[in-house]
Structure 1
Amino acid sequence: MKKRLNPKNDYLFKRLFGEADSKPLLIGLLNAVLRRDERDAIADLVVLDGKLLTKRLVEDKEGVLDIRCETANREQINVEMQVGRYRHMEKRSLFYMGRLLADSIREGEDYGQLKKTICINMLDFSFLPLEGFHRSFHLYEDAERRFRLTDLIELHFIEFPKFRSAPYAVADPLHRWLRFLDERTTHEQLEELIAMDPTIRTAEERLSHLSEDDMTRMLYEAREKANRDRISFLKDAREQGLEEGRELGIAQGKELGIAQGKELGIAQGRELGIAQGRVAVARNLLKAGTDIAVVSQLAELPLEQVRLLAAHLEE
């Protein structure tokens, strides 16, 4: 028996829930996350993103291996498993939500044809400054909190570190799914889940079958490596840029100190150095082919400034 693979690996997560023969598993997971009971449960859906997961796509450090589907009621749902930390996860999610919402109507249709759009972010890191591992957001009026302008948009964040520290309720379907997905779950805990929930039994059987497939394991490892490389590269680029900025800042601070006093000069130089360090970080990321929007977030620079840097690099 080979070691159980980590279901939170986004390639494996997509294989587990994002293929035609795994539709019952995706329905079970979505009903648990959205707290749908028998009255309004999702009964059927179609996975819309059926692109082949090639080795090239799996090794793409910036590639997003999410799951997009449409329910029988024509709700648009996007599920993303995110292991690596993003500083502006809320903006990233809103961007995808806006794109899904815009794609839900065809040319010539009016706004009344817009479909409900739900984005679910499953994060293997703490993100929101709030207690509780599952938070959902809707569009409410500021003063009259009970008034919801529309139910067309719904945004969910599930944070695994907070789930692991929360009291566990085996009777709760969402708790069961999150424990199934957690790579730290013990064999005894898995046995309890399998005995209690037939859908999770099927999910574990599918995971075991995928784990035995040599090609799946190869692509799984390729994705793990791509995620590690991305984290390492971003860390190195940031440290290199900040170091360049500090050195330049100290040198310029000393020059300023001749005219304005050494202490003031070094302080101002350091501030300038930090700014120039961010520019250096952005240049390193752009040279590596990182998306402009991602560079803007990581280097903490305005998007327009990053665009100008990218244009200069192309000259």
Structure 2
Amino acid sequence: MRRTLLNPKIDFVFKKIFGSEEHPEILISFLNAVLKPQKPIVSVEIKNSDLEKEYIEDKCSRLDVKALTSNKEIINIEIQLKNEYNMIQRSLYYWSKLYEEQLSEGDRYDKLSRTVCINILDFKYLKNDRFHNGYRLKEIETNEELTDLQEIHFIEIPKLKRFESTEEIVDLLEGWVEFLRDPESEVIRKLEMSNKEIREAKDELYRLSRNSKERELYYLREKSLRDEISALANAEEKGLKEGLKQGLLEGKLESARSLLDILDDDTIATKLNMDVDIIKKLRIETLKK
């Protein structure tokens, strides 16, 4: 039976491919495509390649990729499947932690390195049509850049246009995002023939997909993420219902206020299908004003 490829957007698989110490060229190529540095990155030191089983099963854990580049940059890459409506705040928090953790007591501030957070999102988040946005600190009126020590990127997979052929791909980052979106697309099949890093990533994805132990861990992680997404969806639904319920109550109270001068409490309660005690309380509050 033919086995399908694992989904590279699941953070467990993403980390296995892009955070692999055996295949650093994959991460180097991806980072150069995202950051487009004047001095290309030529090597990376991956900081968190270990994956313990308890983290895989923990739906609250972050399986991100951390690395130090040959340009002395600290990089953090996180991939998110579900919109929690807090990515900006969350990214600033993680950026500040990475920046602060560089110093020990007594260290000088000039030892702090450029720190970059890259957020890959499987949903639309920012209010523009670009699939890739990068931000730094700038002066409000002149747009003058204060520093490049802080840099935060958002890559929104659903905003990437659909490609009919490799000729339409003008930027390597488009190729990498297409790989994450659909590693078996015809475009990727052609692109991997000319790009060795994408071919290497595809080979690693094949290896993971064929390995029974890796597939077992993948399904554990997929389940934990599915549980997390389900919990978020339930919370959203509950919040929506509570909001509608509150809005309906406010509407009824407003209608009741308009009837206080012309109808008695029992009649108002009957007409609006409300508890008469609420109407009586509303009348008392109105008389006090």
- Please classify the TM superposition score into its range, dividing by the shorter chain length: 0.7 to 0.9
User: How far apart are the structure 1 equivalents of 2:92 and 2:218?
Assistant: 28
Structure 2 CA distance for partners of 1:17 and 1:53, relative to 1, 3 Å: farther
Aligned residues: 257
Instruction: State yes or no: 1:220 paired with 2:221.
Output: no
Instruction: State yes or no: 1:157 paired with 2:136.
Output: no
Structure 2 CA distance for partners of 1:165 and 1:201, relative to 1, 3 Å: closer
Report how far residue 175 of structure 1 moved.
Answer: 1.1
Report how far residue 106 of structure 1 moved.
Answer: 2.5
Unaligned runs of 5+ in 1: 265-315
Counterparts of 1:163-312 in structure 2 under 5 Å? Answer: 163-164=160-161, 169-183=168-182, 185-186=184-185, 188-240=186-238, 243=241, 246=245, 250=249, 254=274, 255-260=277-282
User: How far apart are the structure 2 equivalents of 1:111 and 1:142?
Assistant: 25
Kept after mapping to 2: 8 A contact 1:105/1:115 = no
User: How far apart are the structure 2 equivalents of 1:193 and 1:59?
Assistant: 34
User: How far apart are the structure 1 equivalents of 2:92 and 2:82?
Assistant: 18
**Aligned to 1:20, what secondary structure does the other structure show?**
coil
Task: Tell me the residue number matched to 1:6.
Answer: 7
**Aligned to 1:61, what secondary structure does the other structure show?**
coil
CA offsets, 1:205-252, max 9 Å, x none?
Answer: 1110111001111111112111111121222244446656838x8599
Normalising to structure 1: TM-score of the pair? 0.75
Structure 1 stretch displaced more, 56-65 or 122-131: 56-65
RMSD: 2.5
Greater radius of gyration (CA): 2
User: How far apart are the structure 1 equivalents of 2:210 and 2:192?
Assistant: 19
Structure 2 CA distance for partners of 1:139 and 1:33, relative to 1, 3 Å: same
User: How far apart are the structure 2 equivalents of 1:156 and 1:241?
Assistant: 30
Matched letter for residue 102 of structure 2:
S
CA offsets, 1:54-103, max 9 Å, x none?
Answer: 1x211211111100111123210000111121201000000000000111
Unaligned runs of 5+ in 2: 254-273
State the 4+ residue runs in structure 1 displaced beyond 3 angstroms: 164-169, 237-247, 249-256
Normalising to structure 2: TM-score of the pair? 0.81
Q: Percent identity?
A: 36
